[in-house]
C-alpha cells in the first residue's frame, strides 16, 4: 500500500466507533469476536490467542451524544470514562465478548464496576497491576494476575488459550511494536517526514485491526516514510506528554503543528507500545509478559516505579528525541496526569526547559484559543 492509502485507511478506521471497527475487521475475519482494552496496558496477546480481536477502547470522541452516562458520574471526571460507559448503555458493545480494565486510577476502577453492573452479559475484567516493581514476589504476582485473566477468558470463550497460541500472538505483537518503534525512531531524526496527526492515526488504527493485517501495512508505511526526502521547517521541537489514556481529538494534534511546534516524541497510546524491546516469545509467555511489564516498560504516569522517577524519564525522552520544550497535554480532570504535571513542571523549571500546558476533552469543537496559546509559546521561543 502507498503511504497515502495507509494514512487514509487509518484515519477512516479511527473515525469509527469500536463496534464499527469490529464490523470492519469481520469483513476479512468473519468469525472473530471483539474484546475491549481500556487504556493503558493489557496483555493483548492473551486476547488475540483466544481468537478475539483486542480493540482499544478510547471512549467515543465527539461521535456520540451523552444521554445516560452523565447521570452515573460526577461532572468533574475525564470524558473517556463517560463516553465509554455510554457505549455500553447504548448497546454499542453488544458484539464484544468483554472488556479489560486495569488499576490505573480511581475513575477506571469505578468505571469497570459501572460497566459490570450495566453490561451483565459481558465478561468484564479488572487487572490489578503490580505497584511495587522490586519485591521478590512481583513477577510471580504479575504472572498470577495474567494467568487469572487467561483462565477466565478461556472459560468465557469455551476453549483453551494455550501457551503456544500466546507465543504466536507475541511474535505478531512484537513485530507491530517493533515497527511502531521504527516509525518513532525515524521521526525523532526526521520529524517533518510525517505529520504528527498521521502518526497518531496510524498508531491508533493498530488498536483496531488484527495484528496480522496491521503489520504489513505499517511496514509499507515505514519503508515509504524512510525513503521520502525531508524538507526541514522552522518550529519548536517538543515532546508531547500527558496523553497516555484519554486520547486527544486529532484536530488538536494538527493545531499543535500548525501553531509552530514539531512533535519529536509523545506518549499517545503508550500502553500499546509500552515495551522498549521485544518480549521473549519462547517458553512461558505469561512469565515473559510479566517480565516485560516489570522491567522493560517505558515510563508512564500510571505505572509506579520507585527507582525510576517519571520526571527523569521525561528528561531522557526529551534528550533522546532532540526536543527543546515540553507540551503537556493532559485530558481534563485526569488525576494521574495532573498530579504528575506538578512533578514534571518542577523538574523542567530546575533544568530551565520551556513548557506549556494545554488541556483537552473529547467534545472539543474549536481549537482557536489553544492555537493562539501554542503560537504565542512557539513564537516566544523562536524569536527570543
Ligand atoms: S483519563 Fe486519567 S482519570 Fe480518566 S480514566 Fe484515564 S487515567 Fe483515569
Span 206-240, pLDDT tens digits:
999 999 999 999 999 999 999 998 888 899 999 99
Atom in ligand 1 nearest the alpha carbon of residue 337: 2
What pTM value is reported for the model? 0.96
Average pLDDT, the chain: 95
For 227-277, the pLDDT digits (tens) are: 998 888 899 999 999 999 999 999 999 999 999 999 999 999 999 999 999
Provide, for the chain, the percentages of residues in helix, strand and coil under a 3-state DSSP scheme, each rounded to the nearest 5: 55, 10, 35
User: Which residues, including other chains, have CB under 8 Å from residue 212's CB and lie 6 or more apart?
Assistant: 172
List pocket residues of ligand 1, CB cut-off 6 Å.
78, 80-81, 104-105, 107-108, 245-246, 302, 331, 334-337
Cell of 279: 518480549
Pocket test for ligand 1, best of 271, 328, 336 (most atoms within 8 A of CB): 336
CB 60 within 8 Å of CB 17: yes
* Per-residue pLDDT at 49: 98
Atom in ligand 1 nearest the alpha carbon of residue 108: 5
Distance 56 CA to ligand 1 centre (A): 14
Distance 269 CA to ligand 1 centre (A): 13
For 121-152, the pLDDT digits (tens) are: 999 999 999 999 999 999 999 999 999 999 99
- ∠43-113-15 over CA atoms, to 5°? 60
Cell of 351: 533544568
For 295-351, the pLDDT digits (tens) are: 999 999 999 899 999 999 999 999 999 999 999 999 999 999 999 999 999 999 999
Q: Using 50, 70 and 90 to split pLDDT, how confident is the model at 51?
A: very high
Closest C-alpha to ligand 1, atom 5: 108
CB 206 within 8 Å of CB 272: yes
All structural domains of the chain = 29-166+235-384 (3.40.50.11890)
Closest C-alpha to ligand 1, atom 3: 334
Q: Is the pLDDT of residue 384 over 80?
A: no
* Per-residue pLDDT at 363: 84
CB 281 within 8 Å of CB 171: yes
Q: Is the pLDDT of residue 365 over 80?
A: no
Query: What letters, b where the CB count within 10 A reaches 16 and e where it falls short, cover 91-118?
Result: ebbeebbbbbbbbbbebbebbbebbbee
* Per-residue pLDDT at 163: 98
* Per-residue pLDDT at 67: 85
Distance 260 CA to ligand 1 centre (A): 28
Atom in ligand 1 nearest the alpha carbon of residue 301: 7
Q: Which candidate, 265, 294, 281, places its Cα nearest to that of 203?
A: 265
**Cα gap 38→248, rounded to integer Å:** 15
Atom in ligand 1 nearest the alpha carbon of residue 105: 8
Beta bridge partners of 241: 328
Is-cis flag, bond preceding 60, omega within 30? no
Pocket test for ligand 1, best of 101, 329, 331 (most atoms within 8 A of CB): 331
User: Which residues, including other chains, have CB under 8 Å from residue 287's CB and lie 6 or more apart?
Assistant: 139, 143
* Per-residue pLDDT at 73: 85
Amino acid at each position: 500500500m502507498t503511504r497515502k492509502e495507509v494514512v487514509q485507511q487509518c484515519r477512516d478506521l479511527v473515525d469509527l466507533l469500536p463496534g464499527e471497527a469490529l464490523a470492519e475487521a469481520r469483513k476479512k475475519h468473519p468469525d472473530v469476536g471483539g474484546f475491549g482494552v481500556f487504556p493503558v496496558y493489557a496483555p493483548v496477546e492473551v486476547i488475540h490467542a483466544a481468537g478475539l480481536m483486542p480493540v482499544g477502547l478510547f471512549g467515543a470522541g465527539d461521535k456520540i451524544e451523552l444521554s445516560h452516562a452523565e447521570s452515573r458520574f460526577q461532572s468533574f471526571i475525564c470524558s473517556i470514562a463517560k463516553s465509554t460507559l455510554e457505549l455500553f448503555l447504548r448497546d454499542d458493545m453488544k458484539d464484544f465478548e468483554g472488556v479489560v480494565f486495569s488499576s490505573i486510577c480511581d475513575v477506571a476502577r469505578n468505571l469497570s464496576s459501572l460497566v459490570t453492573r450495566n453490561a451483565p452479559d459481558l465478561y468484564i475484567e479488572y487487572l490489578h497491576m503490580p505497584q511495587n516493581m522490586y519485591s521478590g514476589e512481583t513477577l510471580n504476582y504479575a504472572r498470577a494476575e495474567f494467568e487469572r485473566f487467561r483462565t477466565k477468558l478461556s472459560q468465557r470463550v469455551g476453549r483453551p488459550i494455550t501457551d503456544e497460541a500466546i507465543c504466536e500472538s507475541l511474535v505478531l505483537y512484537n513485530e507491530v511494536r517493533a515497527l511502531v518503534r521504527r516509525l518513532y525512531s525515524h521521526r525523532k531524526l526526521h520529524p517533518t517526514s510525517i505529520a504528527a496527526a498521521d502518526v497518531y492515526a496510524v498508531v491508533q488504527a493498530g488498536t483496531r485491526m488484527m495484528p496480522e493485517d496491521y503489520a504489513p501495512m505499517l511496514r509499507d508505511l515505514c519503508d515509504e516514510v524512510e525513503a521520502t526526502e525531508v524538507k526541514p521547517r522552522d518550529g519548536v521541537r517538543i515532546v508531547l506528554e500527558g496523553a497516555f489514556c484519554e486520547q486527544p481529538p486529532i484536530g488538536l494534534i494538527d493545531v499543535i503543528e500548525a501553531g509552530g511546534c514539531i512533535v519529536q516524541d509523545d506518549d499517545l497510546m503508550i500502553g500499546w507500545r509500552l515495551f522498549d524491546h521485544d518480549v521473549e516469545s519462547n517458553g512461558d509467555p505469561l512469565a515473559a509478559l510479566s517480565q516485560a511489564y516489570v522491567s522493560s516498560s517505558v515510563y508512564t504516569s500510571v505505572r509506579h516505579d520507585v527507582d525510576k522517577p517519571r520526571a527523569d524519564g521525561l528528561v531522557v525522552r526529551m534528550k533522546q528525541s532532540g526536543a527543546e520544550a515540553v507540551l503537556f497535554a493532559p485530558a481534563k480532570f485526569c488525576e494521574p496526569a495532573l498530579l504528575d504535571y506538578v512533578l514534571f513542571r518542577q523538574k523542567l523549571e530546575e533544568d530551565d526547559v520551556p513548557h506549556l500546558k494545554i488541556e483537552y476533552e473529547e467534545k472539543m469543537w474549536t481549537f482557536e484559543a489553544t492555537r493562539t496559546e501554542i503560537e504565542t509559546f512557539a513564537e516566544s521561543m523562536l524569536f527570543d
